[in-house]
Amino acid sequence: MAQPRVIYEAKPGSPLDIDRALYTRLGQETGGRRLVDRFVIPMRSGAAWPVRAGQLFRIVAVEGPQVGDLNVWNLANPRERFWASRTRQLHRAHLTTFDRLWSCLPYLRPMVTITADSIQYGRDQDGAGCHDLLGTRCDPYVHKLLNGEEFDRCCHSNLVRAVAPCHLTELDVHDVLNVFQVTGLTADGRYFVKPSPARAGDVLEFFAEIDVLCAMSVCPHGDLSVPVWGPAAGDASAVCRPLGVEIWQPDPALLAGWTPPAPSDYRGQHGMRAG
């Protein structure tokens, strides 16, 4: 049988080959930071917020285990948005420090880079990892399909409500990074979850490479310790908690050597000629 082979391998010097010293400084040398904004997203709701290029933002498990579903757009152009499946191929199925969230075509550039992950879950004996890119957000359509119920607080709906004031719609909401969510695949390839391992104070921190609009849903299924669908489905309201967001301006000296990434410079026009 053939051996597995990692396929998305870059040549040295590519944007996948990141300056670890720079991002380690940004994540660890916190003394010169200035707080820009801090707020709490209540349980079973969503919020959207801008982050300027060169700033950091943190998702905080303020009261204990809780899953959050994150979307990211270019603040100036919402057609450029986070591409979860390509990010999964370029990095891994569960993100951690030094991994980046890449944008969709025709842009394909890092939008944010993870600078701190207090969970450091690694891979467990079932092959599961934390901060999931295997799955996507819960939505009311799949909820109706599986449970036969109308439910308006799914992550998809929380994200739709969160971005409505930004003049974005349901069609702008896209596949998410499931923050603080542990997932994997069973031996026969089925998607599974485990309860969130986050404890009060755990953080996942990002550095904004470009101006971005972020939106996050605080999942109505809480820490995922109660089955959501199927015969054992239960009420998760007792395991729902809020999530915090913090935006920080790092010490400008830490940004030495950093420049915002440009969109892809591919100009091939897919082999088509104009005219």
Write down the H helix ranges in 10-154. Answer: 20-28, 84-90, 140-147
Q: Which stretch binds Zn ion (CB under 5 A): 137-145, 224-232, 245-253, 258-266?
A: 137-145
Q: Say which residue the tokens 């092959």 belong to.
A: 127
Identity of the residue, 138 or 173, whose beta carbon is nearer to Zn ion in the bound complex: 138
- The helix or strand, by DSSP H or E, that contains position 158, with its residue range, turns out to be helix 155-163
The answer to the question of residue 182 lying near Zn ion (CB under 5 A) is: no
Structure tokens at 41: 């997203």
The answer to the question of residue 138 lying near Zn ion (CB under 5 A) is: yes
The answer to the question of residue 179 lying near Zn ion (CB under 5 A) is: no
Identity of the residue, 27 or 65, whose beta carbon is nearer to Zn ion in the bound complex: 65
Residue of 72, 112, 155, 213 that binds Zn ion (CB under 5 A): 155
The answer to the question of residue 216 lying near Zn ion (CB under 5 A) is: no
The answer to the question of residue 219 lying near Zn ion (CB under 5 A) is: yes
Measure the CA–CA gap between 266 and 102, rounded to whole angstroms: 16
Identity of the residue, 130 or 219, whose beta carbon is nearer to Zn ion in the bound complex: 219
- Residue 109, judged by CB atoms within 10 A of its CB (0-12, 13-18, 19+), counts as middle
The answer to the question of residue 193 lying near Zn ion (CB under 5 A) is: no
Nearest approach, Cβ of residue 146 and Zn ion (Å): 13
The answer to the question of residue 168 lying near Zn ion (CB under 5 A) is: no
For residue 43, the 8-state DSSP code is T
Identity of the residue, 26 or 245, whose beta carbon is nearer to Zn ion in the bound complex: 245
Give the angle subtended at the CA of 153 by the CAs of 150 and 159, to the nearest 5°: 125
Identity of the residue, 72 or 138, whose beta carbon is nearer to Zn ion in the bound complex: 138
Nearest to 48, CA basis, from 249, 240, 212, 248 = 212
**Interface residues with Zn ion (CB under 5 A)?**
138, 155, 219
